[in-house]
Structure 1
Amino acid sequence: MLTLPTDLRAAFKEPFGPVYTEAEALLADASSEETDAPLVAVGDVVTFHLRRAGRPPDVAIIDGKTKREAVDEEIRRAIETGRLVEVTNEPGTLSFDLVSALVEALDAEEPTTLLVTGEEDLATLPAVLAAPLGSTVVYGQPDEGMVRVTVTEAAKTEMRDLLAQFDGDIETVLSPLDT
Structure 2
Amino acid sequence: MDSLVRWNAVGPDFFHVVGTPILLGRDFTDADSASTLKVAVVNQTFVDRYLPGRQPLGHHLAIDGEKGAQYTIIGVAQNSKYTRVREQDSPMAYFPYTQIPDIATMQIELRAHGNPAALLPSVQRVVHDFGPDLAPLQPMTQQAQFEASFSQEHLFARLALFFGLLAALLVATRTG
TM-score range, shorter chain: under 0.3
Which structure has the larger Rg?
A: 2
Q: Of Structure 1 and Structure 2, which has the larger fraction of its residues in strand? A: 1
As a proportion of its length, which structure holds more helix?
Answer: 1
User: Taking CA–CA contacts closer than 8 Å with sequence separation of 6 or more, which of the two structures ends up with the larger relative contact order?
Assistant: 1
